[in-house]
Structure 1
Amino acid sequence: MSQTEKVSAKEYLAKCKKAAVKGNVIAQNTLGFLYLNGQGVDRDYTEAVRWFEQAAQQEYREAQYNLAIMYNLGQGTQQDKVQGAHWMKRAADYAYAPAQNALADLYYKGEGVELDYVLAYVYWELAEKNGVKDIEHKKSEILKKMSLEDIENANRLLKDVLLRKSDQLSGACRNYFEALKSKAQDVKDIGILYYKNLGLDEQTALIEIEKD
């Protein structure tokens, strides 16, 4: 199979399942998306949660983020804002910008966590530094509600995260990506399948699949 060969949704699903069962976190996360969106299979939120959780338990940050959303919305599982916040924080601590932004929202609203303007501000700052757009208006609004002490604490915490703990944070991220890389290297005769799915603009899903 060539790298750019397109396959039917059902064929893609079968290959994705094969890789997911073997523990491939990228495949598990993508399989969750297929069930979530009903591509190549009937829509099944419960199955989506199951596969997101398997990848999330292996510290795959995108899956942790997706699982958090499922818990927050109560899709495929009982709504549980505390569990949603738990998984959102796991993803955010891997420097996953969408999760940092979403976690800040949770701290700002006090959903699944205690309301905390300091942490909300810090995570919005981190999300912005990691590429999330349109954060400035959120920071502007929260600053109106923060005391001078809150602002000082937020800036001190942010400085601590960005400076003193930068090596620790970057090290965790390096370990994360090295773990994914080693998974791919351990599989012999890898076939790379690119498949534009889920209508995510120009993004593509990359699955490492053992050839038949």
Structure 2
Amino acid sequence: MFRSGRALMLGSLLLLSPLLAQAGGNSLLVPATGRCTLDTVPEQQQQALASCQQIANGGDAEAQFELGEYYYTGEHTPRDFQAALRWYEKASLQGQAQAQWRLGTMFYRGEGVKANNIQAYIVLKMAAVNGAEDAMDTADLVAEQMSKDELDIASKVLGQIFRNYLIELQTAGNSPFSPLP
């Protein structure tokens, strides 16, 4: 399955500020990881899954990541790379670093998608920028298997992503960077 059209869009959106719920200091809000407990007794599994899907469909990146993990690992359900991919993509677009790392490794290994080192490298670099600890090492492994032309393409895409991000920051007035030429 080719996702080249979405690759640039995904790359362009990965660095956008995560769409996290802003509570104004309200300590009563429970983070998604506390609401989305999929590691439960079998009798409660369907209810937990439905609850997590509702939260994830509401745009919660952590719940989306947890659903991706649920389907990727296959510990409580048969492994489903397509479902995992779908949830990881949603979380990735919101800057969820672990989802980006998982998505990059799926592109690298060809899990649920046709293997694509350029796409894997780009997403893994974005994951590293967003704080996924193992992403840079994984990106280096991918780079070792890429041709110079493939690395050039990936570097150009990453350069454009960063440029667009800086322009967006400057436009929003939230950047200490002077305007780009």
TM range (shorter): 0.5 to 0.7
Uncovered stretches (5+) of structure 1, i.e. residues with no partner: 1-24, 172-212
- Alpha-carbon separation, structure 2, partners of 1:82 and 1:154: 24
Taking the aligned partners of 1:112 and 1:44, their CA distance within structure 2 comes to 28
Name the SS of the counterpart of 1:36 in structure 2.
coil
Alignment match of 1:36 (pick from 36, 39, 43): 39
Question: For residues 47 and 66 of structure 2, what CA distance do their matches in structure 1 show?
Answer: 13
Judge conservation of contact 1:46–1:77 (CA < 8 Å) in 2.
no
Q: Match for 1:36: what amino acid?
A: D
Give SS of 2:64's match. helix
Residue number in structure 2 paired with 1:144: 144
With the length of structure 1 as denominator, give the TM-score of the two structures. 0.59
Q: Give 3-state SS (helix, strand or coil) of 2:36's partner.
A: helix
Measured in 2, the distance between the counterparts of 1:66 and 1:95 equals 14
Aligned residues: 144
**Given that residues 92 and 100 in structure 1 are in contact (C-alpha distance below 8 angstroms), is that contact kept between their aligned partners in structure 2?**
yes
Q: Which has the larger radius of gyration?
A: 1
Given that 1:48 and 1:76 are in contact with CA atoms closer than 8 Å, whether structure 2 keeps it comes out as no
Q: Check 1:46–1:78 CA distance in 2 against 1; reply closer, same or farther (3 A cut).
A: farther
- Where do 5+ consecutive residues of structure 2 fail to align? 1-28, 172-181
Which one-letter code corresponds to 1:58 in the other structure? G
* 1:59 aligned counterpart, secondary structure: coil
Moved over 4 A (4+): 25-29, 75-78, 165-171
Question: For the aligned residues, what is the CA RMSD?
Answer: 2.9
Over the matched positions of the two proteins, sequence identity in percent amounts to 23
Q: Could you say what secondary structure the match of 1:108 adopts?
A: helix
State the TM-score, normalized to the length of structure 2: 0.68
Q: 1:28 to 1:102 in 2, by over 3 A?
A: closer
Contact 2:117 2:142 in 1 (8 A): yes
